[in-house]
Amino acid sequence: MEEYLDYPVQYWTEYVLEHYPLNFSESLGMVKELDLPQLMRIANFLTSRQVGNTVTYAVSYNINYSNYCAASCPICAFYVPIKLKGKTNGGYELSIEDVKKDLEKARDLGATEIHIVGGFNPDLPLEYYEDVFRTVKEYLPGVTLKALTIPEIDFIASTSGNSIRDVIERFKAAGMDAHTGGGAEIFDPEVRKQITTKEKISGEKWLEDAKIIHSLGVPGNSTMTYGHVEKIDQIIDHIIKIRDNQREIPGFLSFIPLKFSPDNTPLQKMGKVKLPASGETDLKVIALARIIGGQDLTNISVYWVSLGKEISQVALNGGGNDLVGTAFSEKIFGATDRKEGTTIEELNNLIRQIGKIPAQRDTFYQIKRYG
């Protein structure tokens, strides 16, 4: 009986090893045939083979420079419409002095990575970002600067009348080391239409921009926001597109599935999403990411801020090998009422509790020290 139960796991494990990269219909066939524990066992086996028993995280500090935004994505609880600037409370733009105050906090907390993202703010010129980036590097010369999502970079390029190439060259000169990989959402155009607005670039453009940015020597993460109106087909399609982009022009440091948090978002107010995705979906997404993309996307990150700490621990035994980071001062998920914080010690303990080895890493996934 035990052998019979194990057979599909053995069959699909061998199939993945022999036939990687799986195409869409193979991936969908596998998902239909296997249940969650089976997918997780395959994913866990592949994770151990690829990265061993270590779970990494970065000591990162988040700076969200402005919440004014020219887009108004139904999945977002963070933005204040730019047209309401000066007419409402709650909107902000950080000055360079504000950024310096944040950097002092980041220094006190021992951050090795500064993560910067914000809204599409047409009032901020390209020079603003250069000033912010230079300030980061002047104040904290040892840190790595992971800045902006790909749609933000595209927005800055189009509003400033520059090419992506020119913007990246200028940002590199100002201190940018990596992009954050955000804004990928779900590439499928029909789903994307429901969760973003026309101001945000298409999935195709996101992938094209990523190739340009990577070819200029600026790597970054890749993401997927799930748990809203998408189906499993669109999740598989998204993972395959990220993986194939990586095979063409490498530059993704990790793949980070982001669980949509509906609280305070227009999508929830419209009644389109009532609850967050189930823990089962969270675990399935991480397992699929490892199985479908893991040989090209070595680091499958489990973002504890969006999944919660306990489900994250389970996901680290089903395909994940990284907890992203401490995310000190995070505000984007915070706007949806997910306000949990953490400490380095807590992340180490969460990892040790599940029998894995904690390690602090840098932005480029090089281990700095074991926890």
The residue (of 148 and 315) whose beta carbon lies closer to ligand SF4 is 148
Q: Of 306, 302, 308, whose CA–CA distance to 285 is shortest? A: 302
The span from the CA of 276 to the CA of 178, in Å, is 30
Q: CB of residue 155 vs ligand SF4: minimum separation in angstroms?
A: 8
The residue (of 71 and 147) whose beta carbon lies closer to ligand SF4 is 71
Q: CB of residue 217 vs ligand SF4: minimum separation in angstroms?
A: 26
Whether 114 and 144 have beta carbons less than 8 Å apart is answered as yes
Q: CB of residue 32 vs ligand SF4: minimum separation in angstroms?
A: 32
Q: Of 104, 110, 95, 17, whose CA–CA distance to 57 is shortest? A: 110
The residue (of 66 and 299) whose beta carbon lies closer to ligand SF4 is 66
The residue (of 78 and 171) whose beta carbon lies closer to ligand SF4 is 78
Q: CB of residue 71 vs ligand SF4: minimum separation in angstroms?
A: 4
The span from the CA of 74 to the CA of 101, in Å, is 32
The residue (of 56 and 72) whose beta carbon lies closer to ligand SF4 is 72
The residue (of 57 and 187) whose beta carbon lies closer to ligand SF4 is 187
User: Which residues in this chain contact ligand SF4 in the complex, by CB under 6 A?
Assistant: 69, 71-73, 76, 78-79, 119-120, 200
Q: CB of residue 192 vs ligand SF4: minimum separation in angstroms?
A: 12
Q: CB of residue 168 vs ligand SF4: minimum separation in angstroms?
A: 19
The residue (of 71 and 210) whose beta carbon lies closer to ligand SF4 is 71
Q: CB of residue 333 vs ligand SF4: minimum separation in angstroms?
A: 12
Length of the chain: 371
Q: CB of residue 325 vs ligand SF4: minimum separation in angstroms?
A: 20
Q: Name residue 328's beta-bridge partners.
A: 61
The residue (of 22 and 184) whose beta carbon lies closer to ligand SF4 is 184
